[in-house]
Structure 1
Amino acid sequence: MPLPSAGPAARRTRPAAGILPRTISPRLTRSAALAPRPPHPRGAATVWSTIEAKIARGERLTTEEGVHLLTDAPLLEMGALAHEMRVKKTGSKFVTYVIDTNPNYTNWCTVDCHFCAFYRKPGKPATDGYTHDVEGVMKMMETAHQLGATTVLLQGGLNPEIPWSFYTDIVREARKRYPHITPHFFSAPEIHQMAEVSGLSIKGVLEALYEAGQRTLPGGGAEILATRVRKRISVKKGGPEAWLDVHRAAHQVGMRSTATMMYGHVETPAEIVEHLDHIRALQDETHGFTAFVPWSYKRGNTPMESKVKHIAGANMYFRVLAASRLYLDNFDHIQATWFSEGKKTGQIALYFGADDFGGTLFEENVHLATGHLNKTTIAEIETLIRESGFTPAQRDTEYRILREAEGPSALENLSAEVPLFVENMRELPAEYPDQLEGEELVNPK
């Protein structure tokens, strides 16, 4: 029997105060927004009015209008409009989540990304460097199975010592031993690494992974799809096309994938919109993306930690989410990440265009390497969703609903061992500053 879609159920043409929690609705409904804003000397109010009218007519926004959303549009009104668009696409009842974990098979990597604290560089001493073999990965799969996960998001550094056969073997063994768990493996840069090691084309690598049993691809490695940014923070990963070509080929061989974005470092608002424009165009071409997942850069222990002056806070996150929902008119699902932005921020994000609460992430090591720690339980996720005024629904990797949560989640059922969120961030100013002290970044590890 086909699984029910997480798509439209009951649709509404505009958000009513009744669908918002009593403590939130007075501030987030468009009819009860903040006091009237004075006219912008450059006519920004007219730009916002144009955007509202275009969204109402179902028309596509331009890149200039996308930049306006990130810089000048009224935040609460934009959030309410994004929520209205979300309700039209996915209904107002459910917020979905996935039971997953995010282990890694190696932390040896040759790419020297300036934003990464996780990798260890081959040839340099590191007592904590590791590479797991096939059975080591299967132990991770067994742990995921014991925890009830339906998805394992497995990624690793670009380690040239790993043979091509390893990648297809772990997909094949995962499918054989744990057929109920989706192997959501490998970022776009890892696919490029496999092509180099195997001598195959990008499409040839993806066809081999598909034959082994892989059906979905995570969106990691996108960062910001703008040439200037990628040259400054991850030059060895290539330009935007390096990431886009992998996902185009993945869709062509029958895989679905997610699109991601890591913002809050060296990019400008125009470069965020350039990123959104790239993935919107590819979605027009292939219709292969399931969701968009943005998160903010965490600078602790990274090579460019001392160079980034401001960390993007909650207001910028809400603005990015809402702008993404309004600009990405061909994406059904946008994820709110409790993990990277905090649980309360994640709850509010459900009224700024997001319809999904992400995963349980029982294991995660990349953010942890920066000093960012955030843990949860299934019961807590369902409670957070209910507190926000929605019905929790467990989904699979392709956003099909597996189970609608029954009954209220009791706070007393939450794990006493859930660590407190380690938050070491400063709020981004209202304007979007030039965030680097200078043009040169610190030397990588």
Structure 2
Amino acid sequence: MELNELYQKALNFEFLTVTEGVYLFENAPLTELMFIANELRIKQVPHGKVTWIIDRNVNTTNVCIANCKFCNFYRIPGHRDAYITDIETYKRKIDETIRYGGEQLLLQGGHHPDLGLSYYVQLFKELKSLYPHLKLHTLGPPEVAHITKLEKSTHREVLVALKEAGLDSLPGPGAEILTDRVRRLISKGKCGSQEWLDIMHEAHKLNITTSATMMFGHVETIAERFEHLVKLREVQSRKPENAKGFIAFIPWTFQDVDTLLAKIRGVHNLTTAEEYIRMIAMSRIMLPNVKNIQASWLTVGKKTAQICLNAGANDFGSIMIEENVVSAAGAPHRFTSMGIQEAIREAGFEPQLRNQQYEFRKMPVVMEEQVIDY
């Protein structure tokens, strides 16, 4: 293979194969890879701004029976620390989010054996009745799969009910690496790779906007990372013409502090800053039909994420007023509204507040600037 030929294919928005992607990742000079990805970003996101969002990640419950080997957050049923979030807690946290200028709740939880479809439908309806303008970016394919099994229903029926109850968009957690070899090793209790993809395709057919993710730097091979990207690209290619499908892709690195993967299997995150930047660039190159690529400052830190803005990324994600799952495995980074904007400007870009649909928002009058340490 010739690097220049692959560069040209990428610049033409052609679909590169897994083999071609691996070759570029392993052989292209970083500066050239960044240049190609940056050129694609300029074409796909011509406004040139770097977007960000104010939202909060609230967990419906920490009870989960999936037993993922990278998660320190979950508790087994009956554990003394187990909880289901009550409505008064939601109200307090939503009110606080609104004071910070946020309008969205990223609502996720575990695979609780007793929380079926009626629970989530009732919760969504109650939250929407209390906060009609609140956007619910909620659950994810593994939770939809879990609810479907509990109800002995179908993905479509569950998604329709959730959408009618108030679900605005579907985030992309639980993708990890979309190959079953990896999933058997790190997240055996979750849905398989094909079910994850099928649920996303069903969501797209219902015109539910989704995002896609990848957690890497653990037991996967480089080729499996690129198989993951190709599978996402194929699902995006099958979305209805009027649907946004995967509106964004967010790759982040495995956080290993005190996880079972680290303690029992000796698996540690050895991803370097350069490797992460390469993956951002290759995400832009391998996913020509996904417009927005987000740099995960939460897992790689400010400086690396800033460099990614010149390597194909056009989004800096959320200030994350609250985030519990990744932080429980060691992610130490935090941003305020002012801090995230300053970081974007330092990288040479204009910050632009957005909503989940990547529509621009005006900066709200924020009553409180600091991020509370939860």
Same fold (TM over 0.5): yes
Which of 51, 61, 78 aligns to 1:106? It is 61
Which of 248, 251, 261 aligns to 1:304? It is 261
* 1:327 matched to 2:282: no
Which of 20, 27, 37 aligns to 1:72? It is 27
Counterpart residue identity of residue 190, structure 1: E
Q: How far did residue 147 of structure 1 move?
A: 2.1
Name which of structure 1's ranges 133-142 and 236-245 shifts more when overlaid on structure 2.
133-142
Deviations 1:100-122 (A, max 9, x none): 11111111110111111111112
Partner Cα separation in structure 1 for residue 197 and residue 30 of structure 2: 30
Aligned counterpart, 2:220: 267
Partner Cα separation in structure 2 for residue 337 and residue 183 of structure 1: 21
Partner Cα separation in structure 1 for residue 269 and residue 100 of structure 2: 37
Question: Cα–Cα, structure 1 residues 90 and 162, in superposed 2: closer, same or farther, change >3 Å?
Answer: same
Partner Cα separation in structure 2 for residue 168 and residue 414 of structure 1: 33
Question: Cα–Cα, structure 1 residues 345 and 104, in superposed 2: closer, same or farther, change >3 Å?
Answer: same
Which of 240, 252, 257 aligns to 2:193? It is 240
Partner Cα separation in structure 1 for residue 112 and residue 91 of structure 2: 19
Supply the RMSD in Å over aligned alpha carbons.
2.0
Which of 128, 148, 151 aligns to 1:195? It is 148
Aligned counterpart, 2:159: 206
Q: Is the 8 A contact 1:103 1:153 kept in 2?
A: yes
* 1:86 matched to 2:67: no
Name which of structure 1's ranges 356-365 and 162-171 shifts more when overlaid on structure 2.
162-171
Q: How far did residue 310 of structure 1 move?
A: 4.4
Q: Is the 8 A contact 2:295 2:308 kept in 1?
A: yes
Q: Is the 8 A contact 2:253 2:269 kept in 1?
A: no
Q: Is the 8 A contact 1:289 1:331 kept in 2?
A: yes
Counterpart residue identity of residue 157, structure 1: G
Which of 136, 139, 160 aligns to 2:89? It is 136
Q: Is the 8 A contact 2:255 2:329 kept in 1?
A: yes
Question: Cα–Cα, structure 1 residues 168 and 318, in superposed 2: closer, same or farther, change >3 Å?
Answer: same
Partner Cα separation in structure 2 for residue 240 and residue 72 of structure 1: 28
Partner Cα separation in structure 2 for residue 274 and residue 325 of structure 1: 15
Counterpart residue identity of residue 51, structure 2: T
Q: Is the 8 A contact 2:11 2:40 kept in 1?
A: no
Q: Is the 8 A contact 1:137 1:170 kept in 2?
A: no
Deviations 1:211-238 (A, max 9, x none): 1121200000100001111111111213
Aligned counterpart, 1:29: none
Q: Which runs of 5+ in 1 are unaligned?
A: 1-45, 407-412, 420-445
SS class of match (1:245): helix
Partner Cα separation in structure 2 for residue 136 and residue 166 of structure 1: 16
* 1:150 matched to 2:107: no
Q: Which runs of 5+ in 2 are unaligned?
A: none
Counterpart residue identity of residue 96, structure 1: T
Partner Cα separation in structure 2 for residue 323 and residue 297 of structure 1: 18
Question: Cα–Cα, structure 1 residues 69 and 181, in superposed 2: closer, same or farther, change >3 Å?
Answer: farther
- Kindly, what percent of the aligned residue pairs are identical? 39
Counterpart residue identity of residue 178, structure 2: L
Which of 381, 389, 395 aligns to 2:340? It is 381
Q: How far did residue 299 of structure 1 move?
A: 0.6
Q: How far did residue 128 of structure 1 move?
A: 2.3
Aligned counterpart, 1:31: none
Q: How far did residue 269 of structure 1 move?
A: 0.8
Partner Cα separation in structure 2 for residue 282 and residue 269 of structure 1: 21
Runs of 4+ in structure 1 over 4 Å off:
none
* 1:356 matched to 2:315: yes
Question: Cα–Cα, structure 1 residues 120 and 63, in superposed 2: closer, same or farther, change >3 Å?
Answer: same
Q: Is the 8 A contact 2:298 2:331 kept in 1?
A: no
Partner Cα separation in structure 1 for residue 96 and residue 313 of structure 2: 30
Partner Cα separation in structure 2 for residue 56 and residue 147 of structure 1: 40
Q: Is the 8 A contact 1:260 1:294 kept in 2?
A: yes
Partner Cα separation in structure 2 for residue 59 and residue 372 of structure 1: 35
Counterpart residue identity of residue 351, structure 2: P
Deviations 1:267-294 (A, max 9, x none): 0111000000000000000151100000
Counterpart residue identity of residue 232, structure 2: I
Aligned counterpart, 1:4: none
Question: Cα–Cα, structure 1 residues 315 and 418, in superposed 2: closer, same or farther, change >3 Å?
Answer: farther
Q: Is the 8 A contact 1:215 1:254 kept in 2?
A: no
Q: Is the 8 A contact 1:145 1:181 kept in 2?
A: no
Question: Cα–Cα, structure 1 residues 173 and 418, in superposed 2: closer, same or farther, change >3 Å?
Answer: closer
TM value normalised by structure 2 = 0.92
SS class of match (1:273): helix
Which of 334, 341, 365 aligns to 2:300? It is 341
Deviations 1:174-222 (A, max 9, x none): 2222222210010111111211233321110100011112120000010
Q: How far did residue 70 of structure 1 move?
A: 2.4
Counterpart residue identity of residue 293, structure 1: I
Counterpart residue identity of residue 272, structure 1: R
SS class of match (2:183): helix
CA radius of gyration, larger in: 1
TM value normalised by structure 1 = 0.78
In the alignment of these two chains, the number of paired residues is 365
Counterpart residue identity of residue 350, structure 1: L
Q: How far did residue 56 of structure 1 move?
A: 3.3
Q: Is the 8 A contact 1:185 1:217 kept in 2?
A: yes
Partner Cα separation in structure 2 for residue 117 and residue 213 of structure 1: 30
Aligned counterpart, 1:295: 252
Q: How far did residue 404 of structure 1 move?
A: 6.9
